[in-house]
Amino acid sequence: MLDQTEGYTTADGRKIGGVVMEMKNITLRFGGVEAIKDISFDIREGEIRAIIGPNGAGKSSMLNVISGFYIPQEGQVYYKGAPRPQMKPFEVARQGIARTFQNIALFEGMSVLDNVMTGRLTHMKTGLFGQAIWRGKAEAEETANREIAEKIIDFLEIQAIRKTPVARLPYGLKKRVELARALAAEPSLLLLDEPMAGMNVEEKEDMSRFILDMNDEFGTTIALIEHDMGVVMDLSDRVVVMDYGKKIGDGTPDDVRNNQDVIDAYLGVSHD
């Protein structure tokens, strides 16, 4: 059943691989409200996939379905070729899915470095006792994890705030720290929930550069939700457009831009 075709090559010459995650006829209801109506799409290895839509279109619900937080009443989610069973959030993380949040969810009292290190949690194997006496394996493991954390700190250019408690940072930097934590998990799929929300033009440009570089440098597969149309069109390889819980467009940014339904949804046409 699954689409296992070979992928495609993007306009800038990147090779996009096979399907990492596929949504098949997903329907999600809250009581009587249908938040998502029969939506299907896939996310391929190495691509930047965007989900856009006006307010209340069901974007965040969709992301929560992808992350396994919501269980759809109908349809099936396939991850790495197999149907995904119902899972707890930590099991999802172990499977290699990391995310950032629309409203930042960091450990405010901890330093930036410690926050990034928590992203390595799923890669640490020594137990509580080993960590406590911190000899041999535990020490070696922490050193190795710290090295990866430092690479990411360097990558996101947050060296100057390495030891600063997160609570003291401005909003834009917190967003970047959250991205660093997600990246530290070395995810096979990274979910970004409105990474540009509340940012000024300069911060948006920085964030866009980081997202592109991340995809380029580490080959990270990224699915993102975003309001800012300009940003989405510049960043993504393929875009899903949602409106009132339905998928109204899916394709390259150019396809989507010329899609009449999408134009109507954004410019506002009365719904019958």
Partner 1 sequence: MRTALGEGVRWGGIYVVKSSEGASGLKSVPALLHRNAKEFGSALAYREKEFGIWQSWTWSETLEEVEALALGLIDLGVQPGDHIAVIGRNRPYLYWSMMSAQMAGAIPVPLYQDAAADEMAYTLDHSGARFVIAGDQEQVDKVIEVQGQLPEFEQMIYLDPRGLRKYDHSKLHQYSHVQDAGRAKRDELTPEMAKRIAVLDYDSTCVMLYTSGTTGKPKGVVLSNRNVIETSKSSSEFDGLRQTDDILAYLPMAWVGDFIFSVGQALWSGFCTNCPESADTMHVDLREIGPTYYFAPPRVFETQLTNVMIRMEDAGAFKQRMFHYFMAHARKVGPAILDGKPVGFMDRIKYGLGELMVYGPLKNTLGFSRVRVGYTAGEAIGPEIFDFYRSLGINLKQLYGQTEATVFITAQPDGEVRSDTVGVQCPGVELKIEPNGEVFYRSPGVFVEYYKNAESTADTKDAEGWVATGDAGFIEEDTGHLRIIDRAKDVGQMASGALFAPKYVENKLKFFPNILEAVVFGDAREECTAFINIDLTAVGNWAERNNIAYASYQELAGHPQVLATIQAHVEDVNQSVAEDEMLSGCQVHRFIVLHKELDADDGELTRTRKVRRRIIEEKYADIIAALYDGSVLVSTTTEVTYEDGRKGSISATLEIRSAATSAVAQKMAAE
The residue from 35, 92, 153, 190 that contacts partner 1 (CB under 8 A) is 153
**Sign of the alpha-carbon torsion through 33, 86, 79, 193:** positive
The residue from 7, 8, 14, 139 that contacts partner 1 (CB under 8 A) is 14
Site mask for partner 1 (CB under 8 A), range 32-71, x = bound? ----------------------------------------
Q: Which stretch binds partner 1 (CB under 8 A): 74-82, 88-96, 167-175, 209-217?
A: 209-217
Q: Does the footprint of partner 1 cover residue 150 (CB under 8 A)?
A: yes
CB 196 → partner 1: shortest distance, Å? Answer: 17
110-139 binders of partner 1 (CB under 8 A): 113
The residue from 108, 213, 234, 254 that contacts partner 1 (CB under 8 A) is 213
Distance from C-alpha of 109 to C-alpha of 29, rounded to nearest angstrom: 37
- The smaller minimum CB distance to partner 1, of residues 10 and 76, is found at 10
- The smaller minimum CB distance to partner 1, of residues 149 and 241, is found at 149
List interacting residues with partner 1 (CB under 8 A): 12-14, 113, 146-147, 150-151, 153-155, 157, 159-160, 162, 205, 209, 212-213, 216-217
